[in-house]
């Protein structure tokens, strides 16, 4: 992939050229490695529990951390404060209508709140929810409502290094087999997630989504689209699916949403602020869900979102249609992933949306899943760089009824690229430190839980190192880098 804007370089290099300039900045600092070691220890080796004071680059997530545009900030100044009937909500409604092509909108305070309402409205105990792949909060809500999931990716989708452009596709034969096995009456709905988060931000193709729609029609099942990362998925469709290369991002987005009965999203990812929403063209579904919104979220015209944020969502959604906006993060991820791949560092290929994903299972092939290689790599990388990534592996998974870890299919360190936040030199710093760490990988050991919450344990769980490997890593860093930060 060349830079989003079609600018060719004399050197022949693929440099992701920014189509924005920086006008407001936030000061950063890089604490010395000894402080970083203490900080991660205080945080129980869980990067969620670090304070940004101790962080140089925060690549934990793109959730609520994208840079805002001047247009978004301008709109926020003109918000209409009202409990009911706010004009700000009208503007968000109009943007959803234009971008997603859906007439009815229910606001929710974030993506998981939308999942709560959908799960409570459409899942009966014992139901199965076929999906391409789960997301952590989705699984929690399905579980809380007595449902279970069936993950139906193609077998090769979990091969981390491949040239499969659409690893997020659903295996249609598996979908049919699941419906036959469970009976259509026991399927709550079919769920497709755009830019499949937990397998490395990997997209599905429009052709595949249309196949899923066909099966849904055949069995009169509802198709729910998790559109939290839909912009990136649309961008990849344009880049990678021959039939859509001439279409605009807007056309592709509407075509994707047209396949689904219900589209929901986390506005934390879509724009940069807070909030989320559920939209549909079916009044019966809207009426069925709307009764829950005042109970859990707030009145139907704010849903737990501040009016200022509602204004920024409206503008942010429309900005998603601009290829230079939506392509910024994927093109930086592409750059970093290819540099690492060239150097032999195990990285998820092809690069996806959301972040650069390091294959921790291979990076730390000597660390068994019982002692959490992805968690250990995430902590180790923070120690040696001050860069905060997120564990996406067995720590982000659950335990079975016997209390044993359900090993994750893939062990990943995710380095998120919030939109328009980091520069290329910062990206090169990440590349440099990862390459160094790879040469010292044998020093890294595992982690074990000392405090483990029963649900979504990765958020608040605390661990300790299985040996003195963190100290050894600090010594190796000092030996190679002297008094460098
Ligand atoms: C972030 C995310 C969610 C949950 O959204 P929140 O706003 O964080 O609650 C759901 N699905 C996907 C695919 C996401 O990336």
From the alpha carbon of 115, which atom of ligand 1 is closest?
Answer: 10
Residue 329 CA, ligand 1 centroid: distance in Å: 17
Considering its fold, how many domains does the chain have in total? Answer: 2
Reduce the DSSP state of residue 216 to 3 states and report it. helix
Residue whose CA lies nearest to ligand 1 atom number 5: 111
How many DSSP H helices and E strands does the chain contain?
20, 14
Of the candidates 196, 197, 216, 226, the residue with the CA atom closest to the CA atom of residue 114: 226
Query: Exposure pattern of 452-475 as b/e (b: 16+ CB <10 Å)?
Result: eeeeebbeebbbebeeebbeebbe
Is there a contact between 120 and 165 (Cβ–Cβ < 8 Å)?
no
pLDDT band at 274 (very low <50, low <70, confident <90, very high): confident
How far apart are alpha carbons 362 and 365 in whole angstroms? 5
3-state helix, strand, coil in the chain (%, to 5): 45, 15, 40
How is residue 356 written in tokens?
A: 């650069």
The pLDDT assigned to 364 comes to 98
- Cis? peptide before 350, omega within 30° of 0: yes
Pairing mode, if any, of strands 355-359 and 223-226? unpaired
Residue pLDDT, tens place only, 229-260 = 999 999 999 999 999 999 999 999 999 999 99
101 and 233 co-located in one domain:
yes
Single pTM value for the model:
0.94
**Predicted confidence (pLDDT) at residue 1 exceeds the cutoff of 70:** no
CATH number of the structural domain spanning residue 219? 3.40.640.10
Which residues contact ligand 1 via a Cβ below 6 A?
Answer: 63, 110-112, 135, 137-138, 193, 197, 226, 228-229, 266, 268-269, 276
- Overall average pLDDT of the 330-339 stretch: 97
**Do 416 and 305 belong to one domain?**
no
pLDDT digits (tens, 9 = 90+) for 341-381: 999 999 999 999 999 999 999 999 999 999 999 999 999 99
Asked whether residue 78 falls in the same domain as residue 227, the answer is yes
Catalytic annotation, residues: 83, 135-136, 226, 269, 392, 458
Per-residue pLDDT tens digits for 170-210: 999 999 999 999 999 999 999 999 999 999 999 999 999 99
Whether 366 and 455 map to the same domain: the answer is yes
Residues 96 and 42 occupy one common structural domain: no
Task: Choose one of 321, 339, 355: the last residue of a domain.
Answer: 321
358 bridge partner residues: 347, 413
Give the structural domain span for 11. 4-62+325-481
Q: Which of 60, 61, 65, 111 to mutate to test the pocket of ligand 1 (most atoms within 8 A of CB)?
A: 111
The percentage of residues in the chain with a pLDDT greater than 70, rounded to a whole number, is 99
| pLDDT for 272 | 65
Three-class SS of residue 245? Answer: coil
pLDDT at 273 (0 to 100): 73
**Integer Cα distance of 204 and 109 in angstroms:** 27
Q: Looking at the structure, do residues 314 and 375 belong to the same domain, yes or no?
A: no
* Together in a domain, 398 and 289: no
Task: Identify whether the C-beta of residue 457 lies closer than 8 Å to the C-beta of residue 391.
Answer: no
The verdict on 343 and 226 lying in the same domain is no
129: enclosing H helix or E strand? strand 128-131
- Do 280 and 167 reside in the same domain of the chain? yes
Element (H, E) at 485: none
Indicate which atom in ligand 1 lies nearest the CA of residue 266: 7
Q: What does the block give as tokens for 1?
A: 């992939």
Tokens 């949306």 map to which residue?
Answer: 353
Is the domain of 405 the same as that of 292? Answer: no
Q: Where is the domain boundary, 321, 350, 371? A: 321
pLDDT at 88 over 90: yes
pLDDT of residue 6: 77
Closest listed residue to residue 320, CA positions, set 281, 276, 257, 272:
272
CA atoms within 13 A on the CB side of 268: 15
Q: Which two structure tokens, joined as six digits, stand for 248?
A: 């605009």
**Ligand 1 centroid vs 480 CA: distance in angstroms?**
40
Q: State the CATH number of the domain containing residue 394.
A: 3.90.1150.10
Of 321, 337, 372, the last residue of a domain is 321
Residues 432 and 346 in one domain: yes
DSSP structural state of residue 165: T
Residue 246 and residue 362 in one domain: no
pLDDT of residue 269: 87
Q: Which of 48, 115, 116, 137 to mutate to test the pocket of ligand 1 (most atoms within 8 A of CB)?
A: 137
Mean pLDDT to the nearest integer, 399-405 = 93
How many residues are listed for the chain in this entry? 485
Q: How many CB atoms lie within 10 A of CB 135?
A: 21
């Amino acid at each position: 992939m060349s830079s989003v804007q079609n600018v060719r370089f004399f050197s022949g290099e693929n440099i992701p050229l920014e189509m924005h300039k920086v006008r407001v900045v936030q000061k950063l600092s890089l604490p010395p490695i000894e402080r970083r070691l203490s900080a991660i220890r205080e945080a129980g080796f869980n990067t969620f529990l670090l304070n940004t004071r101790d962080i140089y680059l925060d690549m934990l997530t793109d959730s609520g951390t994208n840079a805002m545009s001047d247009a978004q900030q301008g709109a926020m100044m003109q918000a209409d404060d009202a409990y009911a009937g706010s004009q700000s909500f009208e503007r968000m409604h109009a943007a959803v209508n234009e971008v997603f092509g859906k007439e009815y909108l229910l606001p929710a305070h974030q993506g998981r709140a939308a999942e709560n309402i959908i799960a409570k409205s459409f899942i009966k105990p014992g139901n199965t929810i076929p999906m391409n792949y789960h997301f952590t909060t989705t699984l929690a809500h399905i579980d809380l409502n007595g449902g279970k999931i069936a993950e139906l990716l193609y077998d090769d989708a979990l091969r981390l290094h491949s040239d499969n452009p659409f690893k997020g596709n659903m295996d249609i034969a598996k979908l049919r087999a699941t419906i036959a096995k469970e009976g259509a009456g026991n399927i709550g709905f079919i769920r497709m997630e755009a830019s499949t988060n937990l397998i490395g931000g990997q997209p599905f193709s429009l052709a595949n989504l249309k196949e899923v729609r066909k099966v849904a029609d055949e069995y009169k099942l509802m198709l729910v689209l998790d559109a939290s990362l839909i912009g990136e998925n649309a961008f990849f469709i344009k880049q990678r699916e021959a039939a859509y290369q001439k279409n605009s991002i807007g056309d592709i987005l509407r075509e994707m949403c047209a396949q689904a009965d219900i589209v929901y999203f986390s506005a934390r990812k879509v724009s940069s602020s807070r909030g989320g929403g559920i939209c549909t063209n079916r009044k019966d579904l809207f009426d069925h869900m709307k009764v829950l919104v005042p109970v859990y979220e707030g009145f139907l015209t704010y849903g737990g979102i501040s009016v200022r944020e509602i204004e920024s969502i409206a503008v942010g959604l429309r900005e998603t249609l601009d290829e230079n906006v939506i392509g910024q993060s994927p093109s930086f991820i592409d750059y970093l992933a290819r540099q690492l791949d060239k150097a032999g560092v195990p990285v998820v290929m092809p690069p996806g949306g959301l972040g650069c994903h390091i294959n921790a299972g291979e990076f730390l092939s000597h660390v068994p899943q019982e002692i959490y290689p992805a968690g250990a790599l995430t902590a180790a990388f923070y120690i040696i760089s001050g860069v905060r990534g997120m564990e996406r592996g067995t720590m982000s998974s659950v335990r079975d009824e016997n209390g044993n870890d359900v090993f994750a299919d893939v062990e990943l360190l995710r380095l998120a690229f919030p939109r328009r936040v980091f520069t290329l030199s910062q990206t090169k710093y990440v590349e440099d430190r990862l390459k160094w760490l790879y040469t010292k990988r044998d020093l890294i050991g595992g982690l074990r839980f000392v405090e483990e919450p029963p649900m979504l344990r990765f958020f608040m769980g605390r661990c300790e190192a299985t040996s003195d490997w963190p100290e050894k890593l600090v010594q190796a860093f000092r030996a190679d880098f002297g008094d460098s930060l």
